[in-house]
Amino acid sequence: MTKVIGLTGGIGSGKTTISRYFEEMGVPVYIADDGAKKVMQSEKIIKQIKTTFGDAIFENNILDRAKLAEIVFKDKEKLSQLNAIVHPAVKEDFEAWLLRHENCQYVIYEAAILFESGRYKECDLVITVTAPEEVRIERVLKRDNTTRDHVLSRMKMQWDDEKRISGSNFVINNDNLKKAKEEVVKILKILNIKQNRS
């Protein structure tokens, strides 16, 4: 049976880069954020988002994700409402994806809010990716062309590293990409040993 390895980390930790390393080494990766973008284009989800958040976040019937993010990352209750709409659809999408990879020993499920959403309970193992806070902030400022305050407000919405690490089987420190890649190789060796013994 395919084992699901949850991979998580705070905004700017570089978890998608780490996911790509696993992918390069032959491990299929499902990125929950990409899954969310996909399901948020479906008529059913668009209708639910319109009902909850109104028409102002749509332009020519196309969801303005930046406007929606502006709303939900300032208000925990609104973020919970959005998650209640999107998460079940992402779960369904992942389960269909998993069926297509049922012959794999293990797959990676990458999600920023793996713990916050409770999805970690459905994973066999969890990897947390960490990086110093300033490094994370700089990465997001460069990537998203946003403000420091916006990055900090998003960080506050997520668990801190200490809390994530306490629920993880492996930790990858991603402030040096070469060393982080070496950690991926080490984890793969350990996982292969476990597979062979089970």
Domains of the chain with bracketed CATH: 1-28+104-198 (3.40.50.300), 35-100 (3.40.50.300)
For position 45, what pLDDT does the model report?
Answer: 94
Cα(33)–Cα(138) distance, integer angstroms: 21
For position 197, what pLDDT does the model report?
Answer: 47
Is 35 annotated in some ligand binding site?
Answer: no
Parallel, antiparallel or unpaired: strands 125-130 and 170-173: parallel
For position 194, what pLDDT does the model report?
Answer: 55
For position 198, what pLDDT does the model report?
Answer: 41
Among the residues of 40-147, which ranges form H helices? 43-53, 65-72, 76-100, 133-144
Q: Are 23 and 15 in contact (CB under 8 A)?
A: no
Is 128 annotated in some ligand binding site?
Answer: no
Q: Are 90 and 35 in contact (CB under 8 A)?
A: yes
Is 9 annotated in some ligand binding site?
Answer: no
For position 193, what pLDDT does the model report?
Answer: 52
Structure tokens at 3: 């084992």
Q: What is the DSSP letter of 158?
A: S
Parallel, antiparallel or unpaired: strands 29-31 and 125-130: unpaired
The tens place of each residue's pLDDT in the chain, 198 residues long, gives 899 999 999 999 999 999 999 999 999 999 999 999 999 989 999 999 999 999 999 988 889 988 998 899 888 899 999 999 999 999 999 999 999 999 999 999 999 999 999 999 999 999 999 999 999 999 999 998 889 998 998 898 899 999 999 999 999 999 999 999 999 999 999 988 554 544
* pTM of full prediction above 0.95: no
Is 19 annotated in some ligand binding site?
Answer: no
Q: Is 106 exposed, middle or buried (0-12, 13-18, 19+ CB in 10 A)?
A: buried
Output phi, psi for 125, to 5 deg.
-145, 160
